[in-house]
Structure 1
Amino acid sequence: MTAKIAHARLLCQSLTIGALILGALPAHAQQATGKSFVDDFDKIDRSFWYVSDGWNNGAHQNCTWSKNQVKAEGGMLQLTFAEGRSKDRNYLCGEIQTKKRFSYGTYEARIKSATGKGLNSAFFTYIGPADKQQHDEIDFEVLGKDTSTVQVNQYIKAKGGNEKLVPVGQGADQGFNDYAFVWEAGRLRYYLNGKLVQDVTDPSKIPQNPQKIFFSLWGTDKLSDWMGKFAYTQPTTMEIDRVAYTAPGDKCQFQGSIACTLN
């Protein structure tokens, strides 16, 4: 047997063993490629983050995603909502999403929301039809009609109805707050500024599919009952100071992380 043939056979055996191991893993684990990280947004890492640009999420959204509304400045990720014509929309807005999907673990972000009725400042995870998956989602959303609260919610196979409004204390647009959730197979916990504010233990209300991490700021003329009657006055910005994901069993990613205190 020549050295080349031996190497090829060993490579084939390795690939076969790898495929068998992968096949033995749950589908959930196979789809998740994201690992523990912390990002302080000194810059936007385009190999890690995808910046939405040139479309919108449907008729309910009155702005077009624009890469020009997304920037890192002063150690902050800034997403801006501003007047500007693009296609059939009169406003521009910003969104980023991870390129990889993440599974169970601890998700944390330090955020100052935008100001304005009819706006939504969101930190969430999502997977859906665009990724050839069922719609699963876990949300923190500050609705412009009342920035003294944040809404937590989750979707399982496109079914929502799990909303809860949590008092922020000061306005979410007046300063930075720490938003976190701990996602496990049989439990989903939401935290605000280190305090547990929602504890979900019903498996039918907990997403199962790995998801991408999103930050978005968008507006609406149509969903006034939910987000307030839209009234534009001037550009407004959502700021993200930090985001982190800690996989189960990994060390916490920064001092003060919820993951440092979990049992």
Structure 2
Amino acid sequence: MSRYRRQAMLSAITLAVPLVMGPMRSAAEDTSFFEPFDRLTKDRWFISSGWTNGDHQSCLWHRDRVAVEDGKLLLSLTADAKDGHDLSCAEIQSRTRFGYGTYEARMKVPYARGMNANLFTFIGAPQDRPHNEIDFEFIAPRGPTLQTNFHTANNSKNEGFLEMADDGVFRSYAFIWEPDRIRWYIDGALIRDQRGGVLPDDPQKIYLSLWSTETLVEWMGAFDPESAPQTLVVDWLAYTELGAGCTFEGSVLCQDGVDVSQ
């Protein structure tokens, strides 16, 4: 999630995951799954709580901001004091690392100036690995905007921007990550196709989060606490290994014309 993520991740996160080394396809945890969020299982998900990712983040990660209700994951940003911070916010991260394949979620995204709602994959310094990352980031510095991006150890200037509607409806977001290509989709429509170049190649963890800033104003604007509470609502999330094809109804891989080769 932007070039700031490299500096943002804290070593405390490392305690939540085992170290997985080796080539992409040999990652032992590289298995497809569909998460309906009927509950938040501890063997799959870790809740970030008790720290921030740096001075740029104006809210504190706190487990109280993570909830599951009526088959939906709720990640909230609220104006209530937690451990010296006036705002508290939410993040979950997978305990497992995943490789090439399709990452997708159905979400209702909030927009506010100075706030970032996101779905992304990441591995980097906290896990003693080179920086690898692929992003969906929803921001509103001057209006609702989707920023897609990817990062490698020496390449973080790969942003793409798309104006969005702040209409409070669920949409399906997906990216297909292959060795020489990344494709981003919204409701099955291709919005960006990155072919070739230096792309991420290391298994990564999956993250969902909602956070705010008072300092990254050029990028996101400054968050107004009076705009809280805000909530990112996630209906489901899924990962499908490269080459597995259509594995559940609603997947982008079930659409005609979406080709994925192993």
| Change in 2 beyond 3 A, CA 1:32/1:164 | farther
| Change in 2 beyond 3 A, CA 1:51/1:158 | farther
1:45 and 1:159 mapped to 2: Cα distance? 34
The answer (yes or no) to whether the contact 2:111–2:144 under 8 Å persists in 1 is no
1:250 and 1:216 mapped to 2: Cα distance? 27
The answer (yes or no) to whether the contact 1:32–1:102 under 8 Å persists in 2 is no
The DSSP-based 3-state class of the residue aligned with 2:49 is coil
1:42 Cα deviation (Å)?
1.1
1:27 Cα deviation (Å)?
1.8
1:245 and 1:86 mapped to 2: Cα distance? 33
List, as ranges, runs of 4+ consecutive aligned residues in structure 1 with deviation greater than 6 Å.
Answer: none
| Change in 2 beyond 3 A, CA 1:67/1:26 | closer
User: Which residue pairs with 2:68 in the alignment?
Assistant: 72
2:95 and 2:154 mapped to 1: Cα distance? 21
- Per-residue CA shift, 1:24-83, capped at 9, x if unaligned? x96222335131011111111111001111111011001111011001101110000012
| Change in 2 beyond 3 A, CA 1:95/1:142 | same
- When structure 1 is superposed on structure 2, of 176-185 and 80-89 the one drifting more is 80-89
The DSSP-based 3-state class of the residue aligned with 1:83 is coil
What TM-score, normalized by structure 1, do the two folds share? 0.85
User: Which residue pairs with 1:238 in the alignment?
Assistant: 232
User: Which residue pairs with 1:214 in the alignment?
Assistant: 207
The answer (yes or no) to whether the contact 1:102–1:211 under 8 Å persists in 2 is yes
The answer (yes or no) to whether the contact 1:116–1:232 under 8 Å persists in 2 is no
1:185 and 1:26 mapped to 2: Cα distance? 16
Q: 1:145 aligns with which of 136, 141, 144?
A: 141
- Per-residue CA shift, 1:194-245, capped at 9, x if unaligned? 11111111231x1001100000000000011111221111311110111111
User: Which residue pairs with 2:36 in the alignment?
Assistant: 40
2:159 and 2:218 mapped to 1: Cα distance? 14
1:251 and 1:189 mapped to 2: Cα distance? 15
Alignment of 1:24-39 (within 5 A): 27-31=23-27, 33-39=29-35
Q: 1:250 aligns with which of 244, 251, 257?
A: 244
5+ residue gaps, structure 1, are: 1-24
2:142 and 2:239 mapped to 1: Cα distance? 28
- Per-residue CA shift, 1:133-180, capped at 9, x if unaligned? 011100000003355321100111153111111233x22x62111111
User: Which residue pairs with 1:177 in the alignment?
Assistant: 171
The answer (yes or no) to whether the contact 2:24–2:100 under 8 Å persists in 1 is no
Q: 1:198 aligns with which of 192, 208, 211?
A: 192
Q: 1:57 aligns with which of 53, 57, 60?
A: 53
- When structure 1 is superposed on structure 2, of 146-155 and 33-42 the one drifting more is 146-155
Amino acid at match of 1:135: H
User: Which residue pairs with 1:107 in the alignment?
Assistant: 103
Give 1 or 2: higher helix fraction: 1
The answer (yes or no) to whether the contact 1:32–1:100 under 8 Å persists in 2 is no
Highest Rg: 1 or 2? 1
- Same amino acid, percent of matched pairs: 38
Q: How many equivalent pairs are there?
A: 236
1:163 and 1:111 mapped to 2: Cα distance? 21
The DSSP-based 3-state class of the residue aligned with 2:52 is coil
1:84 Cα deviation (Å)?
2.5
2:238 and 2:143 mapped to 1: Cα distance? 23
What TM-score, normalized by structure 2, do the two folds share? 0.85
Q: CA RMSD in A?
A: 1.7
